[in-house]
Amino acid sequence: MGSISRAIVRFFLQGDLLERFEEKVENGKTTSIDVFLQKEKGYIVKGEILKRDETPIMSLRDASGNEVPAKFSNNGQYFSVTPDRDGPYNIQVAVRSNTNGRGPVATVVVSLLKQIELGKRGFY
């Protein structure tokens, strides 16, 4: 991801890119990405399927496997979350769609961003 792309992501999502994951996900299956999140810090998780128009289905689970409440965007392409404790978390990603002649495996890019307070964003 180039510096211009990162600046655009930060501008629209008010976040700094922490990690970027690229995973192959089979249609109808779920893959998971392990991350470590800190309590009371805001995070944004953004998903995108390369070379397709679909949106990935995402959720966040804690180490016990319980779903963590998150605020999803209207279009479902990203969600924001503020964990109540430090620890390992698991981002679940699925692709469920009609492949319409495309292969059964999609490449999903998941970006983990640290949310920035609007008043402290400044210029990039």
Name the CATH topology of 3-118.
Jelly Rolls (2.60.120)
User: What is the pTM for the complete model shown?
Assistant: 0.73
> Which residues are bridge partners to 61 per DSSP?
67, 90
Question: In sequence order, which residues have a C-beta less than 8 Å from that of residue 54 and are 6 or more positions away?
Answer: 95, 97, 106
Give per-residue pLDDT as tens, 14-33. Answer: 567 788 889 888 887 889 99
pLDDT tens by residue, 84-122: 999 999 999 988 766 555 667 888 888 888 876 544 444
Q: Where are the domains of the chain?
A: 3-118
Average pLDDT over residues 2-16: 58
CA 26, 27, 28, 33 torsion: positive or negative? Answer: positive
Q: 106 with 49: CB under 8 angstroms? A: yes
